[in-house]
Amino acid sequence: MPLLLAAAVFAGCSTEVDLSADYKPTTVVYGLLDPVQDTQWVKINKTFLGDGNNFDYAIIRDSSEYDFSSFVATVVELNEDGDVVDTHVLDSLTINNKDINGVFYAPEQTVYYFPSPGGLNQDNTFRLEVDFDEKNDVDATTDIVKVDEIVMEAPMQNAGTNIQLAQSVGEFGFTYKTYTVRFFPIDNAPFYEVTLKFYYNELVWADEAHTVLVSETFRTIDYFVGSFDQDNINSSGKLLADISGEAFFAFLGTNLIKDPLITREIGWYDPDGVPEAGTRAFDLIVRAGGEDLFTYFQVNSPVTGIIQERPNYTNINGGLGLFSSRATHVVSGIFLTNVTGVPNEGVERAFVNSEYTQGLNFCNPNPTSALSCE
C-alpha cells in the first residue's frame, strides 16, 4: 500500500519547470569617459530571457534595449569638495555600424550621449544616474584619467628625432634596433596600451614601369606595441615600452600586399617641419585606463590556470557593467629619420631593403634622400 501511495504521488507531480517565470531584466551599462573628446558615449541595455532558444531573442533589438521613454539618464559632475557643478542629460541616438556577424541584433543600435565641448574637467568626478519609471534605478561613479599629466621623455613632440627602429651600417647597410618609449605615468591610470601608427601613401599603377597611375590612397596601419602597468615602471618612475624594429618590419611584411603594380611612399614630406624639413611617418599613441577599467580587464583576461571559473566584476550599483575613464596621448608627426644631430638613414633603408618589406616597394618622398621616390 505505501508503494502504491508513493507511485500515485509521483504520478501526480509535473516534471515541467518554467525557467522564465517572474523574470526581471537587469540593467547593463558600459561607459568610458574621455577627457579630451567633445562627446561622451554610454551604452544602456538590459538582460533578457525567453521561452525557447535565447539566440533567437538575441537578434531582436527590443530584447536588449529599453524604451527611452522609460528612464532618464544623467551624468552629474562633482568638484573636489563633492559639490554638484553641472548635470549632463543623456540623449539617444541610433547608429547603423554595429557588426552584423555577432550573436546580437545589428546593424542598428541605440547609444546614449552628452556633449562635452572642450572636453571634461580632469579634476572632477562624474556620477551616472539612470532613473527608471517602474524598476530599480542604477548608478556608478568614476574619476577622470588626467591625460594632461602624462610627460613624454621619448619620443617628444617636435624634438626632431625619429623612432630608431634601425641603425645605419656602412654606406648602404642597416641593423635592426629596439626603441624604448619612456614617459611618466599618471597617478590615477594604472595601465597603458602603446601603439605605433605608420602613415604611407599607396599608389596603384596600370603597368610595371609605373608610368600610368590608376589610384593614390593615403593610408595608415597600427602596430600594437603592448599593454603595460606598474610592473613596467623603473626606479626613476618612468614607464618603459620597447618597440622591436625587426618585429615592426615583419608586421608590415605580413599585413601589406606585395604587388609589382603597387608602390608606397613612406609618410609625407614636410618642407616646413619643426625644427627642420623632413619626412614624417609615425604617431606614437599612449592610451591610459582608469582603476575600474584596469580591474575589469584583469578579471576578464584569459584564464591560464587549472581553475577556469572567474568572478564577475561590475562597478554599476543595481546593475552590471562598467563606468570608468580612459584617455589618449599622441605624439604626432614623428620624423622618419633624424633631422637634427647625426643623421640616421637606417630606418628608411630597412623600409626599402629589409627581407620583410623589400617587395612592398617603399620609397622616401623627401627629394633630398638617397632613397627618394623621385
**Do 73 and 88 touch, CB atoms closer than 8 A?**
no
pLDDT tens-digit map of 92-125? 999 998 888 887 888 989 999 999 999 999 999 9
pLDDT tens-digit map of 309-368? 566 789 999 999 999 999 999 999 999 998 887 778 999 999 999 999 999 999 999 999
Q: Which among 111, 144, 177 is the end of a domain?
A: 144
Neighbours of 327 (CB within 10 A): 27
Residues 173 and 133 in one domain: no
* Single-letter residue type at 63: S
Q: Is the pLDDT of residue 90 over 90?
A: yes
**Is the bond leading into 185 cis (omega within 30 degrees of zero)?**
no
- Say what the pLDDT of residue 62 is: 82
Q: Which residues is 239 bridged to in the sheet?
A: 183, 233
Residue 318 domain-assigned? no
Residue 13 domain-assigned? no
2-11, 13-22, 23-32, 233-242: least confident range: 2-11
Grid coordinates standing for 135? 524598476
Q: Which among 89, 123, 144 is the end of a domain?
A: 144
Grid coordinates standing for 370? 638617397
Q: Is the pLDDT of residue 87 over 90?
A: yes
* Single-letter residue type at 138: V
Q: Which among 144, 167, 201 is the end of a domain?
A: 144
Residue 70 domain-assigned? yes
Residue 2 domain-assigned? no
Domain count, the chain: 2
CA distance 348 to 345: 6
Residues 85 and 222 in one domain: no
- Say what the pLDDT of residue 4 is: 38
Grid coordinates standing for 208? 610595371
φ/ψ region of 209 (left if φ > 0, alpha if ψ in -120 to 50, else beta) reads alpha
Q: Which CATH number do you get for residue 84?
A: 2.60.40
pLDDT tens-digit map of 13-22? 444 545 545 5
Residue 105 structural domain: 23-144
89-98, 191-200, 217-226: least confident range: 89-98
Grid coordinates standing for 136? 530599480
